[in-house]
Structure 1
Amino acid sequence: MDSASLPEQIRPASIPDAEQDGSRDKLTIQDASPPSDNKHGLSLNVHVDSHASHEHTHHHAEIRARHRYTIRRPRALQFSYRSQVIHAGDERGLHETNSRSSISSHLPEDIAKERERLDLFIDLIWVGIIGNLSEVFSSLGFRAEDPNLGIAILVFTLVFLPSWRIWDAMREFLNNYYMDDMVQRAFTLWILLLSVFYGNQLAYLTKDIDEVKQWVISTYLVIFGAFWLIELAYSIFIKWLRKLVFFQTILRLPSIALWVTAIQLPGARAIGPVCGAIVWEYLCPIIMDSQVTARLTPIEVKKALDVHHFQSRMSNFFIIILGEGVLQLVKDGPLGLGLNGSTGVMIWILMIYYEFSFLYFNRDGSRKFVPAATKRGQKTLMWVFWHIPLFSSILTFASSVMFIIRHQPDAPYNSLTGQASAEKIPQDDLPLYLYRAVWTCATSLGVIMLSMTALALLDKSLDEPATLKINNRYIRLAGRIVYIIVIPCVPAAHNIDADLFLGIAAFMLLGVTVWEWNVGLDKGGALIEPLGLSHMMSRELKA
């Protein structure tokens, strides 16, 4: 147990020096001719790394993450002491060095890479879990007997929110305590085993909801019980964590009671306790971070985020969600053999996924900005909150478009889901089902764009005037507002079938993307790069 007092352990987190990127020796080659001699009025400085020849003549060597101990003493990688974020050194217990990782704000490069690989493995498991979540919505919303989109959305929401908390709890654990010792590896494997079992139970949710509900909730409670136990064990070594674990335990007792009650209640009667448990669990972090709690509880030290890892993990989950939709376009060959009508539908759907990927990472188009995730308090909570409807709406959109593809006139129905649906749904009722799928797509697209716009506006732009072609970010995002308003209204028009709707949605989204790309160009930029620039580059390199 650490015997040093807290003030001796903490030190302010150093800010990475922006000049570190330019610390290498570089040779600057400039054009000998005056700038006026160039007909395009362009000047070019070529920076050649003096180590380039060295890298080509010697073998490239990498360093594996160092492991000196089988079991390490737990420590928090970072924490907040009296509202100041403290980085407590790397996982070896050493002081921070000047060589930092681009992946993490304070972990060494080798350790950060190890954590990144583990994150990737976790995401592979969640690809399957997300696929089952998507099938839950599709099975309830588009089943042949008594389809009900309202019930489908309700059940999907009640399943998605706890499922996302499992992923987020694993993200938070690795963010706070990653050490990569054998105890932590065993714990991680245990959580992953439970997660795989949890995801498998979701596949049977629509068949026998009462029995599956018991397994799902029980596994969920075991998973979070494991997180509670590991933090309780860590609190033996991390003194400030003891109070935090105590107050978190008290706060979570009501939700545990509600989950247990939901296990006992049959059918729709369990909806109330489940809703109450979910709402309370999502309120707990807000209560813990509130000013009222800070005044009423003697907690000076709290958990803090590794912001870079936090943003990276949220972005990764966004890619997983998009990947689930793209995977369904390929899995089991739903488009059929050769070119047909389903191929055209696939083009529109893939365009939509591709353009959403651009818009999410483009944010509000600012060149320099402060991400909302780096700010403490309400903005960070709102940033996390808007990801929830974003993720869930992408899944409902993916379920709806896959129903449309599987029920094209030339669909092969070589997937089990498509074959079962084709046999059960009467041909006379199919247009009504497709119309319902179109409305679901339209609503989902509107919510996706609304969530992305809110996330973009939460960032703080630091661009100076005249930095971009259009500096006003509200004008840059105006196309999204038009899309949010128009796209839910398109299905109301007469003679709009599924293929036409998806084509309209894709081309409208393409218009938004092209608009944001062009208005976000640097001031003085042009549509086409001048021809002389490549000639100048060749001349500089020859010199």
Structure 2
Amino acid sequence: MAGPSEIDTNGPQVQSESRYLIRQPRALQWFENGRLVKRRDEERQSGRFELFLDLLYIAILSNFADTLTEDISGAKLAKYILILAPSWHVWSDLREVMNSFYNDDLLQRVLILWIMALMVVYGNNAPLVDEDIGAMRSAVGSYMAARLSLTAMHIYNSFASYQHRPQLRLWAGLSVVTLAVYIPLYFESVSMRSKVATTAVAVVLEQIAWVFCYSPAAKKLLRVKYSTAVDIPHEADRFAAFYIIALGEFLYLIIVGNHAAIGLNERLLRAIWTLIIAFCLNWLYVHADGSVDSAHPLRHNIYTAFGFAIVHLPLIASLLAGGHVAAASVEEEDFEDAQRWLLCGGLGVGMLCLYAFALMHGSKDESGALCVEKPVRLIMRPITGIIVILLPLAHHLGATSILSIIMALFVLCTVWESVSSLKSGAHFWEPWTETDYPDHCHRDDLMEDGKTAAA
């Protein structure tokens, strides 16, 4: 996942001119003795069917957040994290398949449909796992079926393409082992406390297994000449798409139900503040570290590459929860204590994750190139995050006051970074030039008008 030392884009074509319902999976990019080789030199974006999958995740994540906010407690928060993480792992596995072997054939499209069907089962049953053993078995069964299906696709691809073969098979083997940890969840005799601990261990082991399989340590252990590489534009695009899904939670409830009607009222004010908070979060994600010349975390080094992927789960989980409470405030008169902590904790932790996200970018700007150096430019993110997290300690503040303060802090942070990221000597307003038609065009128009009049 680290940046290549050399790039060769003169590899074979991705597919032949002939059309097949099922095409041979071919690695789109790989490392060969430390040299990055790509089949084609063009920027990839999310495919149409990948975006279709994202539509389902909008509903799944909204359902999980809604379940959490119905009865906020420590146990519910733990359940929220433990049912969200597996859904993230399924999405991440499918992202890996499409990043390395995207050929948009019948098999891949059916795979996406099959995974979506399993996630419909998971999304409906996961919020009920602590209430019914049938829901627990359905959620775990659908999750394991989805992961095993994607593992089978990895094995299938490993036979068709040698470039990723050793690591794909290592990943498949470790995936099966980590999935076996979930087996005790099927048994009614196992206590809920034990099931929670088992799930937490399984989630952590899955993350460790993924990092290990694609790390330099695994490559060294396997002694591979050919190893995995990612299409960085596609990878960044997919993570950004999932981030947008989380921000959608801020916007859905401020419209649905018409709770901000009629006319100008305090509910409408909270709806607008929620919109501005989400807009600033999107701005800061796109702004990254504000450098003119910056290396994306996926290109910077191996540690930032893995960190970039890992930080997205707590980032999305926190913003999803905080955004749901912020949007739900349009319907309610005031916040309960638990809602205050979930709102401020979610948004505050999200801002701290955005700070870590920005630090992972490698700035290549010379000293003094921008108005303010990177550490000072980004300092408002942790300050804002900490203040927002501690905001519930001010018990006298109502819902509108809390959202107003959060909105003001987020706007201040966004404005500070936008201004401090300008190049040294920058001006506020760029002078307008070339607003008049060129002289020769004006003469030609007059001559044409004259001929038309004479005719």
- TM superposition score normalised by structure 2: 0.87
Which of 390, 393, 402 in structure 2 is aligned with 1:501? 402
- Percent identity, aligned pairs only, is 25
How big is the shift at 1:68?
2.0
How has the CA–CA distance of structure 1 residues 481 and 228 changed in structure 2, closer, same or farther, with 3 Å as cutoff?
closer
How has the CA–CA distance of structure 1 residues 66 and 509 changed in structure 2, closer, same or farther, with 3 Å as cutoff?
farther
How big is the shift at 1:446?
1.5
Which of 241, 252, 268 in structure 2 is aligned with 1:343? 268
Aligned pairs for 1:63-102 (under 5 A) are: 68-87=19-38, 89=39, 96=40, 100-101=41-42
Which of 338, 347, 366 in structure 2 is aligned with 1:436? 338
Look up the match of 1:127.
58
Distance in 1 of aligned mates of 2:153 and 2:117: 16
Decide whether the 8 Å contact of 1:210 with 1:266 is kept in 2.
no
Distance in 2 of aligned mates of 1:363 and 1:328: 28
How big is the shift at 1:203?
5.1
For residue 190 of structure 1, what is the amino acid of its counterpart? W
The DSSP-based 3-state class of the residue aligned with 1:330 is coil
Look up the match of 2:303.
378
For residue 248 of structure 1, what is the amino acid of its counterpart? W
How has the CA–CA distance of structure 1 residues 330 and 171 changed in structure 2, closer, same or farther, with 3 Å as cutoff?
same
How has the CA–CA distance of structure 1 residues 66 and 119 changed in structure 2, closer, same or farther, with 3 Å as cutoff?
farther
Decide whether the 8 Å contact of 1:439 with 1:491 is kept in 2.
yes
The DSSP-based 3-state class of the residue aligned with 1:79 is strand
How big is the shift at 1:163?
0.8
Distance in 2 of aligned mates of 1:403 and 1:343: 12
Decide whether the 8 Å contact of 2:23 with 2:105 is kept in 1.
yes
How has the CA–CA distance of structure 1 residues 67 and 499 changed in structure 2, closer, same or farther, with 3 Å as cutoff?
farther
- Matching of residue 173 in structure 1 with residue 124 in structure 2: no
Aligned pairs for 1:10-21 (under 5 A) are: 13-14=7-8
Task: Work out the number of aligned pairs and report it.
Answer: 430
Decide whether the 8 Å contact of 2:29 with 2:229 is kept in 1.
yes
- Matching of residue 304 in structure 1 with residue 229 in structure 2: yes
How big is the shift at 1:300?
3.4
Look up the match of 2:312.
387
Distance in 2 of aligned mates of 1:495 and 1:248: 52
Distance in 2 of aligned mates of 1:117 and 1:153: 33
How big is the shift at 1:454?
0.8
Decide whether the 8 Å contact of 2:30 with 2:226 is kept in 1.
yes
Distance in 2 of aligned mates of 1:508 and 1:442: 12
For residue 370 of structure 2, what is the amino acid of its counterpart? L
- Matching of residue 538 in structure 1 with residue 436 in structure 2: yes
For residue 248 of structure 2, what is the amino acid of its counterpart? G
For residue 500 of structure 1, what is the amino acid of its counterpart? S
Distance in 2 of aligned mates of 1:454 and 1:213: 35
How has the CA–CA distance of structure 1 residues 253 and 205 changed in structure 2, closer, same or farther, with 3 Å as cutoff?
closer
1:342-378 Cα deviation digits (max 9, x unpaired): 1111121111111111111111111111111124521
Aligned pairs for 1:83-162 (under 5 A) are: 83-87=34-38, 89=39, 96=40, 100-101=41-42, 103-104=43-44, 116-141=47-72, 148=73, 150-162=74-86
Distance in 1 of aligned mates of 2:395 and 2:197: 40
Look up the match of 2:386.
485
How big is the shift at 1:272?
1.6
How big is the shift at 1:327?
1.3
1:87-126 Cα deviation digits (max 9, x unpaired): 2x2xxxxxx4xxx53x32xxxxxxx6xx532222121111
The DSSP-based 3-state class of the residue aligned with 2:365 is coil
Query: For structure 1, which runs of at least 5 residues remain unmatched after alignment?
Result: 1-10, 17-64, 90-95, 105-111, 142-147, 409-430
The DSSP-based 3-state class of the residue aligned with 1:346 is helix
The DSSP-based 3-state class of the residue aligned with 1:326 is helix
1:461-510 Cα deviation digits (max 9, x unpaired): 1123443222x011111222321232222222252112101101101111
The DSSP-based 3-state class of the residue aligned with 2:427 is coil
Distance in 2 of aligned mates of 1:542 and 1:362: 42
Which of 205, 218, 234 in structure 2 is aligned with 1:293? 218
Look up the match of 1:198.
122
For residue 178 of structure 1, what is the amino acid of its counterpart? Y
How big is the shift at 1:242?
4.4
Look up the match of 2:449.
none
Distance in 1 of aligned mates of 2:390 and 2:175: 42
How big is the shift at 1:336?
3.8
How big is the shift at 1:159?
0.8
Which of 343, 354, 359 in structure 2 is aligned with 1:457? 359
Query: For structure 2, which runs of at least 5 residues remain unmatched after alignment?
Result: 11-15, 442-455
Distance in 1 of aligned mates of 2:395 and 2:439: 61
